[in-house]
Amino acid sequence: MGPSHQLPLVGLLLFSLIPGQPCTICEVSNENYSRLNPLINTMINSKYTRGIQAANVLLSLRLAGIQDQSLGQLTQEVRDDGEKKDLTSGQLALVILALGACQNSVESVTYFHLVSQLEKKFQEEIENMGLHDGNPLTNYYQLSLDVLALCLFNGTYSIDEIKKYFAPENKNFYFGAQFSVDTGAMAVLALTCVKRSMIKTQNKSGEDLQSISNYIESLVKKMLAEKNKENGLIGNIYSTGEAMQALFVSSNHDNKNEWNCQQTLNTVLEEIPKGAFRMPIAAAQILPALMGKTYLDVNNHSSCGSGHFNLSIQEPTPVEPTSPSTWISVHYTVKINKTYSTEVTVPKGSVFLDVMKEAQKIDKAAFRFTYVETSWGPYITSVQGLKENSNDRTYWQLLSGGTPVSQGVGNYVVHNGENLEVRWSKY
């Protein structure tokens, strides 16, 4: 439910909470846009930009200012996805952001029925948290997407619920004992939108505004605590783009001793030619920040990029197949209450998922598993019939040598002699 009433102007306190200048935004200069072409071409040319991944890509390209006919099919696919009834709340929120991005108000009104659907899905998340120890149906990254989309496109939500569930100490901002940078970053974007909306409409009290401001400040500090001092990455290479967006919009946190924006930008640019963003979703999440844009710009047509890129609309160059005679051997383990292990032989260049498939052929009872396709690729949902459960905060963790891997099951390339493990865990 949305705010039920408006309060009168709260004078100097309200004025003091009006966002000041955000953190210094560093961005790629126009003359260096060519360095971003690999990201653009990855998104446009990929054969794997399907489903909800298409919404991420469309959102990013529109923020970059690319509005030409090459996006026609992509836009239609996202429209079709928006009508599916089985979307999670966060997936629907992403569809709304993508379809509404950089469009004028007349074009955006077409998608208002989706906002109504999102209001219902968001309330279902809230109700589930009330019944299951504060655990949402999905996760807090998606919940933050929900709030951001509802805020930007005039949906209804409760400030009291935002205050209750988005306190920085909430367990859902953590994955195990580790603070989730991308979740925190998306929450900062959502809360910043809420704060600006409260100020604009003079809704709620100065105390509520102060609470939201405190939440933003605390989350920013938690994000910066995860910064790599040597290269400036925040969390990891994949969470850095959204973290940069969050820092761009965070007022009164411009501490150059805590974050050197240019260092972070330089590191990311160095990683582009190395293939760090070869997945369309990875390219989509880093591009807006490199252009000085944030998801808060989606309904501000004048803030969208220029789109001055040299696009190469062509089929991606096929990767040379690995020689069938080149094989590697890895040790694979499933750990629940009991440990199940086997040796698996796969072609060089195989990913974690390939190992799991081969192990399943060896012993289906011990190594059977299921997965779903997500915007970041395959995601393991069950092993031996034991399913992940958001209410219990349980999931299947992927490890190498006892250390969690930094990529998904469909992207992590395995190596000869590696000790791989799938472990039943709680977060």
Q: Binding site for cyanocob(III)alamin: which residues? A: 138-142, 182, 236, 285, 379-380, 396-398, 427
Q: State the helix-helix crossing angle for 52-63 and 72-82, rounded to 10 degrees.
A: 130
Q: Is the dihedral of CA 406, 412, 413, 418 positive or negative?
A: positive
- d(Cα 75, Cα 83) in Å, to the nearest integer? 13
Q: State the helix-helix crossing angle for 261-271 and 280-290, rounded to 10 degrees.
A: 150
User: CB-based contacts of 293: which residues, under 8 Å, 6+ apart?
Assistant: 63, 64, 245, 303, 304, 305
Coil vs helix vs strand at 35: helix
Report the binding-site residues: 138-142, 182, 236, 285, 379-380, 396-398, 427
- Mark out the alpha helices in 225-279 (DSSP H runs): 240-249, 261-271
Radius of gyration of the chain (CA): 22
- d(Cα 72, Cα 297) in Å, to the nearest integer? 21
- d(Cα 59, Cα 285) in Å, to the nearest integer? 9
| Contact assessment for residue 168 and residue 421, using Cβ atoms and an 8 Å cutoff | no
| Contact assessment for residue 40 and residue 276, using Cβ atoms and an 8 Å cutoff | no
DSSP E strand stretches across 263-406 = 327-335, 339-347, 369-374, 377-383, 386-387, 394-400, 403-404
| Contact assessment for residue 257 and residue 263, using Cβ atoms and an 8 Å cutoff | no
User: CB-based contacts of 38: which residues, under 8 Å, 6+ apart?
Assistant: 272, 273, 277, 283
DSSP string, 379-412: EEEEETTEE-BTTTTEEEEEEETTEE-SS-TTT-
Exposed / middle / buried, residue 29 (Cβ in 10 Å: 0-12, 13-18, 19+): exposed
Question: What distance lies between CA 377 and its chain's CA centroid?
Answer: 13
For the chain, how many helices (H) and strands (E)?
16, 10
Q: Which two tokens stand for residue 245?
A: 């967006």
